[in-house]
Structures are given as structure tokens and as C-alpha cells.
Amino acid sequence: MARLQRRLAEFAAARNWQPYHTPKNLVAALSVEASELVEIFQWLTPEESARVMTDPDTAHRVTDEVADVLAYLLQLCEVLGIDPLAALDAKIDRNERRFPVQESDGPLQ
Amino acid sequence: MARLQRRLAEFAAARNWQPYHTPKNLVAALSVEASELVEIFQWLTPEESARVMTDPDTAHRVTDEVADVLAYLLQLCEVLGIDPLAALDAKIDRNERRFPVQESDGPLQ
Amino acid sequence: MARLQRRLAEFAAARNWQPYHTPKNLVAALSVEASELVEIFQWLTPEESARVMTDPDTAHRVTDEVADVLAYLLQLCEVLGIDPLAALDAKIDRNERRFPVQESDGPLQ
Amino acid sequence: MARLQRRLAEFAAARNWQPYHTPKNLVAALSVEASELVEIFQWLTPEESARVMTDPDTAHRVTDEVADVLAYLLQLCEVLGIDPLAALDAKIDRNERRFPVQESDGPLQ
């Protein structure tokens, strides 16, 4: 992951894209890529959505959009100095206290 | 990252949330979390957005939303059998061919 | 609709919010409000989503988010000089040519 | 607006698209279209975003996406039985009480 963050930083630097990579622009780009994932699934039934990787073309599109989301998330973390894995570890800790096992009966809102 | 994916899977299993975690629902949740990041930045100037981590409360909110985006991205990859790091590596390879250094003068569209 | 656009403009002017209402910020706010609608529906089955107005609290939340989406859409149209009803009329004309009735077998992508 | 809602309903009915138009799917489609608007603006400075209608191609794209957002918003209102203009009118009333003029110094969060 650190290696990928370095590749992304070098990629942007070589093309002089850093001036565009304000945190505000990167979160917009992240949300646009997340929506491109939603677009693939928007008209599917839950059952169809579970079979989405059986079609090679759709599997490729989904994998490609996952990569785009991760790319912008890592670039955002780079410019803001956030460690995404540590952030998620801490968040799961908090959620384990917030949603104790016995009381839960539905998904995280 | 594999360890976090396992923690997330155990967290969801212990609360019987897996039936809700269809790919369609997870991409919706991912896009909602990405938008909660956008919400923090929506009225800021580019300059203000670059200083967002200097305020401890805002820094905490941003870090928390980054964790949420990563959590849903990893859970989506888990249910679809996608390796997010390999996907991003392959995507950077493709982008290096698609956007050769000398011709580029603007950001990745 | 013209009256609502005028109310929104006066509301923003009275609070000196116009400097924040760049087209870039308004589209971000619009997408955030659209995601707040998605959030209400993200874990529902298709069938549950069809019954969402039978619960008064949820009905109120949905109606409120619909209003927010429309508010930002109208404010965006105001600052950009777009007539949203004319834009939609023209779009339906184009879609009728693009998706002739006899050939269609699925939703607008 | 009522006429446009009727055109949209007839358009969908003629193509047998109503089964796809669950509220859950329509809010997803609405958020995808809102993100397509964001995509046009994501790398622009605030100043560039204010001049977006001076380029005919971009002006056409923006107008087209505005139409798509309105189309899904109206179709959502149709299936849920929401009057969008009444919803916005009521929302502005509430916001006038919530954000009294003299105390305000920033945008609606």
C-alpha cells in the first residue's frame, strides 16, 4: 500500500497534476468514482448484483472502478497525512463499543 | 489490510449483517460515505481545504470518514473476490500507457 | 417554480451566502443531498423501499431530502442561467429518438 | 412540471421500465446523475466553475446533466407521491425559522 501511494504520487508529479490535487478536489473525484460503481449496480436486483463478477466485462469494469476509488482515497490520505489502515483499525474499535454484539439487529447506519 | 478485512468480516458476521451486504448495498453505502467526506469540504475554498487537518475536530471527522470509505471498499472487495491492491497496481500500469508523461497537461479525467 | 427560485435567492442574499454559491460548490452540495436520500434506502430491499412513505418519520425525512435536492438544483440553475424545465423537455425529446419504443428492453443507462 | 412528470411516466411505461423504477433504484440513479455534474466541475477552480457556460460544449453537458437530475427527481416524486414544489416551500419556511437572518454568518450546513 505504501508502494502504491508512492507510485500514485510519482504518477501525478510527472504530469504536474499536484496543483489540481487539493483535498477538496480529491474528495469530489473520490465520490465521482464511487458513483461510477453505483452506476454499474443501479438497475440490478440484489440477486443480480451478487452475480456481477460472472460476466467478464462487468467484472473488469467493477475492478477498474474499485481501483479508481482506492487511488483517490490513497492520494487524499497522502495530501492530508492520514494513515488509512490505522484510521480503519481505530474505527472498528469504536464500532465494537458502539454496536455491542447482543443488541444488534440490523446494519450499521 | 488482510487483517482489517478479516476484522470487518467478523464484525458483520457477529451482528448478522451479511444479508444486508449485497454488492449493490455496499456500493451505495460506499458512495454515501464518500459524500460525507464531500460534505466536510463543500463550502471551503481550495486554500481552506488544504488546511483542514489543523483543526482537531475537523481532522477527526475527516479521518473517521476516510475509515468508513475504506471499510465499505474492503467489504465490497471481500464479497466480490477482488484484490484491491492488485486492481490498483494494474490500473496505474494502464494509466501510464494511457497518459504518457510528455503529452499530459491536465488531470486524469 | 420561479417563485421558489426567487425565495431561495432572497434567502441566500439575506444571509450573505452568495459567495459560497459557486457552481462548483452547488453541484457538490446537490450530490451530498442526493446521497442523503440514498442513505435512507441503502439497506432496504426493493420491496421495503416501495413502502417507505407508510412510516411517517421516514416519509418526512424523504420529503425533506427531496426538497434539499430541488433547492440546490434550482440555485445551480439560477447562477448558471439554465431553465431546468426547458432542459428536461429537450432531453426527453432526445431520449425519444435515442430509445425508440420497439427496440427497448431495459432501463435508460 | 406536471406535464413533464406525465411525459416521463409515459416514456417509462412505453419501454416497460417501471419494474426497474423502485424508489431505491431511482435515488441511486439520481445520485449518479448528480455525480456526473460534479465530474464536470471536479478539477475546476471556483473562478473557472463560474465561467462554465461560456464554452458551448460544456454548457450543453451541464444542461444535459441538470435535465437528468430533474428527470430522476420527478420520477422519484411520482412513485412516492411527493409534491416537490410543496416540499421545497415547506423546507424554506423551516429554514427561515432555523437560520434567522441576523445570526447567520455562513452557509447552510
Express each pLDDT in D9-53 by its tens digit: 999 999 999 999 999 999 999 999 999 999 999 999 999 999 999
Q: Is the pLDDT of residue D108 over 80?
A: no
Give the best residue of B15, B33, B39 to mutate against chain C (max C CB count within 10 A): B39
CA dihedral sign of residues C103, D14, C46, A63: positive
Tens-digit pLDDT profile for residues C22-81: 999 999 999 999 999 999 999 999 999 999 999 999 999 999 999 999 999 999 999 999
Lowest mean pLDDT among A44-48, B46-50, C91-95, C102-106: C102-106
Q: Which residues contact B107 (CB under 8 A, 6 or more apart)?
A: A17, A20, A21, D43
Q: Which residue has the higher pLDDT, A87 or D103?
A: A87
Grid cell of C69 as nine digits: 435536492
Mean per-residue pLDDT, B88-107 = 84
* Number of alpha carbons in the 13 Å side-chain half-sphere of residue A5: 15
Q: Is the pLDDT of residue B9 over 60?
A: yes
Asked if B46 contacts D46 with a C-beta cutoff of 8 angstroms, the reply is yes
Which is nearest to A93 in space by CA: D8, B67, B58?
B67
Which is nearest to C73 in space by CA: D76, D33, B34, B1?
D33
Mean per-residue pLDDT, B24-47 = 98
Q: Which residue has the higher pLDDT, B105 or A58?
A: A58
Helices (H), ranges, A15-55: 23-41, 46-50
Confidence of residue B108 (pLDDT cuts 50, 70, 90): low
Three-class SS of residue B44? coil
Mean per-residue pLDDT, D74-78 = 98
pLDDT at A105: 56
pLDDT at C105: 56
Q: Is the pLDDT of residue A54 over 90?
A: yes
Q: Is the pLDDT of residue C13 over 90?
A: yes
For A57-89, b where at least 16 C-beta lie within 10 A, e where not — what string?
A: eeeebbbbbbbbbbbbbbbbbbbbebebbebbe
**Residue D85 maps to a domain:** yes
Grid cell of C55 as nine digits: 412510516
pLDDT at D29: 98
Confidence of residue D105 (pLDDT cuts 50, 70, 90): low
pLDDT at C106: 59
For B65-91, b where at least 16 C-beta lie within 10 A, e where not — what string?
A: bbbbbbbbbbbbbbbbebebbebbeeb
Confidence of residue A103 (pLDDT cuts 50, 70, 90): low
Which is nearest to D79 in space by CA: D5, D15, D4, D7?
D5
pLDDT at A106: 58
**Residue A54 maps to a domain:** yes
Measured between beta carbons, which residues in chain C are less than 8 angstroms from residue B29? 42-43
Here the CATH number for the domain that contains residue C49 is 1.10.287.1080
**Residue B57 maps to a domain:** yes
- B76·A82 Cβ contact <8 A: no
Grid cell of A65 as nine digits: 472502478
Grid cell of D44 as nine digits: 475546476
**Residue D62 maps to a domain:** yes
pLDDT at A108: 52
Q: Give the chain A residue whose CA is nearest to the CA of D32.
A: A35
Tens-digit pLDDT profile for residues D80-101: 999 999 999 999 999 999 999 8
pLDDT at B61: 98
Question: What whole-number distance in Å separates Cα of residue A63 and Cα of residue C60?
Answer: 37
**Residue D109 maps to a domain:** no
Which is nearest to B11 in space by CA: A89, C91, D67?
A89
Total domains, chain C: 1
Burial category of D101 from C-beta neighbours within 10 Å (exposed 0-12, middle 13-18, buried 19 and up): exposed
Q: Give the chain B residue whose CA is nearest to the CA of A28.
A: B38
Which is nearest to D80 in space by CA: C32, C67, C76?
C67
pLDDT at A25: 98
| Domain span including residue A26 | 2-99
Question: What distance in Å separates residue D11's CA from the closest CA in chain B?
Answer: 26
Q: Does B95 touch chain A (CB under 8 A)?
A: yes
Q: Is the pLDDT of residue C103 over 60?
A: no
For C:67-86, CB contacts with D below 8 A are 67-71, 73-74, 76-77, 79-82, 84-85
Q: Which residue has the cell 471527522?
A: B61
Q: Does C47 touch chain A (CB under 8 A)?
A: no
- Helix axes of B56-80 and A23-41: crossing angle, nearest 10 degrees: 30
Tens-digit pLDDT profile for residues B40-94: 999 999 999 999 999 999 999 999 999 999 999 999 999 999 999 999 999 999 9
Q: Which residue has the cell 464518500?
A: B34
**Residue A59 maps to a domain:** yes
Q: Give the chain A residue whose CA is nearest to the CA of B82.
A: A63
Question: What whole-number distance in Å separates Cα of residue B75 and Cα of residue B30?
Answer: 10
Question: What whole-number distance in Å separates Cα of residue C41 and Cα of residue B97?
Answer: 40
Q: Does B87 touch chain A (CB under 8 A)?
A: yes
Give the chains touching B; criterion: ≥3 Cβ pairs < 8 Å.
A, C, D
Residue D108 backbone class (left: φ over 0; alpha: ψ -120 to 50; beta: rest): beta
**Residue D84 maps to a domain:** yes
ipTM over 0.85: yes
**Residue B76 maps to a domain:** yes
- D30·C69 Cβ contact <8 A: yes
Confidence of residue D107 (pLDDT cuts 50, 70, 90): low
Q: Does B31 touch chain C (CB under 8 A)?
A: yes
